[in-house]
Amino acid sequence: MMEQLSSWFTYDPSTPLLFTQQYFWVFFALVMGAYSLMYKNTARRNIFLFAVSLFFYYKTSGFYFIILLFSTLADYSIGWAIYSNKVKWQRQTLVALSVVVNLFVLGYFKYAYFVADFIHDLTGIELEVINHFALWTNETISTNFIFDRILLPVGISFFTFQTISYSVDIYRGHIKPVKNIMDFGFYVSFFPQLVAGPIVRASEFVPQLYEPYKLSKERAGLAVFWILNGLLKKLVLADYLAVQFIDRVFDNPQLYSGFETMSALFGYSLQVYADFSGYTDVAIGIAMLMGFTLPKNFNSPYKATSVADFWRRWHLSLSTWLRDYLYIPLGGNREGSIASYTIVFAFFLMIALIVGNPWLSIGLAALFALGFVLMRYSRGTERWVNTNINLMLTMVLGGLWHGSSWNFVTWGALNGVGLVVYKNWKKISPWADKTKAYNKAIGLVLTLVFITFTRAWFRSPTWEGAIGILSKIPSDFGWVTAGEVLVANWKFYAVLILGYLIHWIPDVYKEKMRQWVSSASVGTLFLLTVTAIAVIYQILSAEVQPFIYFAF
């Protein structure tokens, strides 16, 4: 008994604290029980939730919670320094310090191997990557971390972007610094959204730290809706599709026909949406029960009729973050910047050095020079080039945010190309009028196909693997055996089609469903909860799949 009790309070990498485990809901029930005793005092409430969130992160990532504490302390101090300082260049220096510190932490843990491999491919120099944090904790507090490789702390990409937004928002005058470090620690570490988003901006969340707790019956009902909706998306839809078909195909794509790999790609598009949006739905519902509002992160992305429309609907907290903290500072759609030109030049140089082809180097240099000349003599060309450069850079860096590999760079670049092509094509497109149903249908299908095919690089472990999967579709489609595949995997295809059909239900009906649930009686909510749990247990796979975005 004591051993089991001890395991609840110690870190075990095989049993992280996840929404999909019964242990989490016991934990959450205990948290809410204690919360009910102190929610009226905002200071005490924030300290309690900060402590609970640290425990949650410790159970998820072990002693990496020290990294979270470091980011909290650093940006809390920098935020006050920015606010107190009235000299512009000093304030700008402090903002730059916040960005550098956060990106250094993120880069060290997430991109060390990527950089080491790049240097090795370029120069042949073999760099040994050592986890100095693990080495330090082993020597200081006698832990047993593996120090000869770097493990990625869960959620580091999310909370570093949050701390950057805090410093920048103070500099821009959007918010004032929080009153004390406990409040800031709570903002950074709020456990429902800590490890997989949504990314919460300081200007959106900090004011809530000092608002009194409010939870109406309707809001509680809506919270229940979001939690059940998210769990059903994740455990019934995403995990079922993955276990029944998708994982098998991607693990051994050479064994399957082009029809099967294409089916797996469209299945993965639905899986990654249901998995990620399922997590954020649960996070939104849990936060709502505690009196906090998290931003909406998805808006039916596969209803998009263009690539631009898709990115206005998909992972909204990241898309808008990249727009406001990267795309616009780079110059947006109006002008270029030294940063954008430097990144483009470095990118061209990097490609040339990796490929090692002198003609490619000459061609890229000529392209860069031609663009520079045209921009000097044509204001329209200059604006067009700057807009598209900034857009491409934002998408490439957004791809790199997802993972430290050329697969994610390629995925981001392809989406950038899709955006650039759409922005220029829509000016002359005969199908631009989306008020017409057939134009809307054409746009929806083309967008879904494009987004799905780019996911080959998102899902495949290697760049070559993505090419291999896509090349099978035209070269070995398997028309003869397609019927047999459909019959043998009819459950997978039935769930896949049903998932897309539910996704495409008009928003007005989905809103009516949310309103009905939020206004339902306690007895009805209880019945819905029991029914949802029964469905989950009937369909639940033998092994619950980890949340996809935990890797980012």
Which of 397, 419, 441 terminates a domain? The answer is 419
pLDDT exceeds 80 at position 172? yes
Same domain, 293 and 191: no
129 lies in a domain?
yes
Question: How many angstroms separate the CA atoms of 490 and 247, rounded?
Answer: 16
Question: How many angstroms separate the CA atoms of 376 and 383, rounded?
Answer: 11
Of 53, 52, 58, residue with least CA distance to 15: 58
Question: How many angstroms separate the CA atoms of 375 and 381, rounded?
Answer: 6
State residue 393's pLDDT score. Answer: 83
Structure tokens at 189: 């570490």
State residue 349's pLDDT score. Answer: 61
Same domain, 467 and 552: yes
pLDDT exceeds 70 at position 363? no
Please give the residue range of the domain that contains residue 290: 215-302+426-552
**pTM for the full predicted model:** 0.87
Same domain, 84 and 110: yes
pLDDT bracket for residue 103 (50, 70, 90): confident
Tell me if 192 sits within 8 A of 547, measured CB to CB.
no
Q: Choose the catalytic residue: 120, 132, 174, 402.
A: 402
* Whether 402 is catalytic: yes
pLDDT bracket for residue 126 (50, 70, 90): low
State residue 371's pLDDT score. Answer: 64
Tell me if 520 sits within 8 A of 219, measured CB to CB.
no
2 lies in a domain?
no
Same domain, 111 and 189: yes
Which of 213, 235, 253 terminates a domain? The answer is 213
4 lies in a domain?
no
Percent of the chain at pLDDT above 70?
Answer: 78
Tell me if 305 sits within 8 A of 444, measured CB to CB.
yes
Question: How many angstroms separate the CA atoms of 21 and 234, rounded?
Answer: 12
Which of 173, 195, 213 terminates a domain? The answer is 213
| 46 SS3 class | helix
> Any idea what DSSP says for residue 339?
H
> Any idea what DSSP says for residue 290?
T
pLDDT bracket for residue 365 (50, 70, 90): low
pLDDT exceeds 80 at position 236? yes
Question: How many angstroms separate the CA atoms of 398 and 330, rounded?
Answer: 14
Residue range 184-204, pLDDT digits in tens: 999 999 988 887 778 888 888
SS3 letters for 149-210? CCCCCCCHHHHHHHHHHHHHHHHHCCCCCCCCHHHHHHHHHCHHHCCCCCCCCHHHHHHHHH
Same domain, 338 and 226: no
Same domain, 118 and 84: yes
Same domain, 328 and 196: no
More confident residue, 332 or 71: 71
Question: How many angstroms separate the CA atoms of 399 and 520, rounded?
Answer: 42
280 lies in a domain?
yes
Q: Which residue has the tokens 């993120």?
A: 106
State residue 339's pLDDT score. Answer: 62
516 lies in a domain?
yes
Same domain, 486 and 348: no
Of 296, 288, 279, 287, residue with least CA distance to 218: 288
Same domain, 27 and 168: yes
Least confident of 144-148, 194-198, 528-532: 144-148
Mean pLDDT score of the chain, rounded to an integer?
A: 82
C-alpha distances (whole Å) from 462 to each of 213, 265, 281, 315, 465 are: 48, 15, 31, 24, 5
Q: Which residue has the tokens 């570093």?
A: 160
- The total number of structural domains in the chain stands at 3
Same domain, 253 and 348: no
Question: How many angstroms separate the CA atoms of 52 and 28, rounded?
Answer: 10
C-alpha atoms less than 13 angstroms from C-alpha of 109 in its C-beta half-sphere: 20
Residue range 151-162, pLDDT digits in tens: 667 788 888 889
Amino acid in position 539: I
Q: Computed from CA positions of residues 136, 137, 142, 147, in that sequence, does the dihedral angle turn out positive or negative?
A: negative
Tell me if 127 sits within 8 A of 174, measured CB to CB.
no
Same domain, 207 and 333: no
334 lies in a domain?
yes
87 lies in a domain?
yes
Q: What is the DSSP string of 438-476?
A: HHHHHHHHHHHHHHHHHHHHHHSSSHHHHHHHHHHHHHS
446 lies in a domain?
yes
pLDDT exceeds 70 at position 5? no
C-alpha distances (whole Å) from 433 to each of 305, 423, 426, 427, 442 are: 11, 14, 9, 11, 11
pLDDT exceeds 60 at position 143? no
Integer Rg of the chain from CA: 25
Same domain, 111 and 21: yes
